[in-house]
Amino acid sequence: MERVKCLIIGSGPAGYTAAIYASRANLSPVLYEGIQPGGQLTTTTEIENFPGFPDGITGTELMEKMRSQAERFGAEIRFGMVSAVDFGVTPKLVTIDGETTIEADTVIIATGASAKYLGLADEKKYAGMGVSACATCDGFFYRRKMVAVVGGGDTACEEAIYLAGLAKKVYLIVRKPFLRASKIMQERVVATENIEVLYEHETLGLFGEDGVEGARLVKRRGQADEEEVSIAIDGFFLAIGHHPNSDVFKAFVETDELGYIKTQPDSPKTNVEGVFAAGDVADPHYRQAITAAASGCRAAIEAERYLKSK
């Protein structure tokens, strides 16, 4: 059976940064990319807030650069999905695609999170053409334009407030007659003049020629006074939550009630010795490329220290 000193699972900024640090520390890391090599960033267009790129860079290009930087120092990058793990043994066992099992002295989990979508065909049709699940990434393109945010939680309120600072107007599409968000976020939404909350509205579809030009909504679906309405918008933002991609590790690694991997305070260490978590799979709060990259660096340094201590 193949044995590796450091196995990195995931190919977003956390995974690649961990690979850069681990390879420079002579850990000969092996990194597995999942079904979306490069991770969530490859679904955004231009990245303008990653330091070092004053003119912006596309998500795909940034991830290709990180990948080749890791390869330059000897990281071995492979394609495959982790289908099972056994972290109850030493070395740890990680099975790829139900076929190959690898022994790993340390494991860095950097499998990220996936934004939830409503499941409408139009979300796919207009992906990158007006549909986004990240206001911080894409909001800037909607300066003085009309946008809608879907969701009634803290993320939706935060995104709506952020977008209100850029866009002409923000519709907040909420399926219930109230917001689930914390009181302070609700108050901020109400106090923001250019946010209009559309309570009891659900999205039926989007329309537009070369991009989103509007959304078709239904108000009070299933009630006697049900009504269809259309709103003119240029951008449609999903903020209905994220799934951390932690399911395959849950039998061994502690997660919180939402599935985010729990790490020790101010450290990427999980409850399992030699297993570290970095990036969005362990971060419900910041979810930025730069914070994910930083945590990947920390995980690689901790993996190296762990190996030295053994």
Q: Which residues are catalytic?
A: 134, 137-138
CB 108 within 8 A of CB 299: yes
């977008």: which residue's tokens?
163
**2 versus 247: smaller Cβ distance to ligand NDP:** 247
**147 versus 156: smaller Cβ distance to ligand NDP:** 156
**24 versus 219: smaller Cβ distance to ligand NDP:** 219
CB of 119 to ligand NDP, least distance (A): 7
CB of 279 to ligand NDP, least distance (A): 16
CB of 116 to ligand NDP, least distance (A): 6
**172 versus 212: smaller Cβ distance to ligand NDP:** 172
CB of 247 to ligand NDP, least distance (A): 18
**79 versus 178: smaller Cβ distance to ligand NDP:** 178
CB of 130 to ligand NDP, least distance (A): 18
Q: Closest residue (Cβ) to ligand NDP?
A: 153
Residues near ligand NDP, by CB under 6 A? 118, 150-156, 158, 175-176, 180, 240-241, 284
